[in-house]
Amino acid sequence: MAAAPSPEQVAALLAEVRFDARGLVPAVAQRHDDGEVLMLAWMDAAAIRETLATGQVCYFSRSRNALWRKGETSGQRQRLVELRLDCDGDTILLKVEQTGVACHTGRRSCLFRAFQHGRLETVLPVEIDPRNLYRADLGALSGGIANSTDGVSCKPAGRLTGSPALKS
């Protein structure tokens, strides 16, 4: 693992990112070892900085307008292995080491439905009962999972620590 990038290196990366009008960029999380796509979320500059500084993936929750530290309440964390920026600078790929499942439904990926035989079919089983995923009281979460507009399933809290990574 590489050491945390310098502030100058992070600034150079952020200068290449094409954020949308809300200051966000889509981020695809992919398991680093087998390439399975786990989820799509959003990042702002602060989430990118925190992810690079801590090595633990941090997103931006559109529904709560706040940073979302993946796995903070569920323990289903994502450790950054590599960050890539696409050719247009408008999409980030996060190659991650996923601890547990990535989806709030208890499945290993949020992309668990496939269009097959003319309809959507569930192709991944529930691995963990979603009611057992979260240490926080789900009723206390702002809006709850059922009302979330971006699949966010945990409440932001304190800062995480870990070994950062940025491959060149």
Domain ranges of the chain: 7-102
Binned average pLDDT, 10 residues per bin, the chain of 168 residues? 86 98 98 98 98 98 94 91 98 97 96 98 96 61 39 35 36
Predicted local distance difference test score (pLDDT) of residue 134: 75
18 Cβ contact partners less than 8 Å away, ≥ 6 residues apart: 25, 88, 89, 90
Q: Are 82 and 75 in contact (CB under 8 A)?
A: no
**Fold type of domain 7-102:** Ubiquitin-like (UB roll) (3.10.20)
